[in-house]
Amino acid sequence: MLKLTSLSLEDAKRLIHAAEVKAATIGSPSNIAIVDAGGNLLAHVRMDGAQIASISHSINKAFTSLACKLPTHVLGQDAQPGGQFYGLSNTVEGRIITFAGGVPLRSGHELVGAIGVSGGTAEQDREIAEAAKVAL
């Protein structure tokens, strides 16, 4: 048997709140999603004014970061033409997102969940996700 640690819903709400505050501060209404250690959705919000394509993007960025154990912007580099994982985009039932905004969440060295943010520029999405991570 393996002993694991995973985010609770309370953790997810605290992280989402931090992301919402950052998103409001920088004026980038966003979709924000949190998955647990198993890659399963824990919570999601779409801020008023955020685009609907980003619903799926936020959920799948969180899933991707958890499932690949890496931030999505790092995967995006390896997924470029000529990169070692070219063709990675959209694998795993179309769920792998290779642009910025997904960040794994660790407690010590253990992967306990991930956050995905979508709605702004790549830089804004990543900035909001990183800000939320601090609230962990």
| Pairing between β-strand 102-107 and β-strand 41-46 as defined by DSSP bridges | unpaired
Q: Which is nearer to a second copy, 31 or 131 (CB)?
A: 31
Q: Which is nearer to a second copy, 67 or 131 (CB)?
A: 67
Question: Site residues for a second copy, window 11-70 (CB under 8 A)?
Answer: 11-13, 36-48, 51-53, 55-57, 60, 64, 66-69
Q: Angle at CA 16, nearest 5°, toward 12 and 19?
A: 145
- Cα(108)–Cα(106) distance, integer angstroms: 6
Q: List the end-to-end C-alpha distance of the chain, in Å, as a whole number.
A: 27
Q: Which is nearer to a second copy, 97 or 131 (CB)?
A: 97
Smallest separation (angstroms) from a second copy to the CB of 39: 6
Q: Nearest 5°: phi and psi at 33?
A: -135, 145
Q: Does residue 94 bind a second copy (CB under 8 A)?
A: yes
DSSP one-letter code for 119: S
Give me the residues that bind a second copy (CB under 8 A), please.
1-9, 11-13, 36-48, 51-53, 55-57, 60, 64, 66-69, 76, 79-82, 84-94, 96-100, 107, 112, 121-123
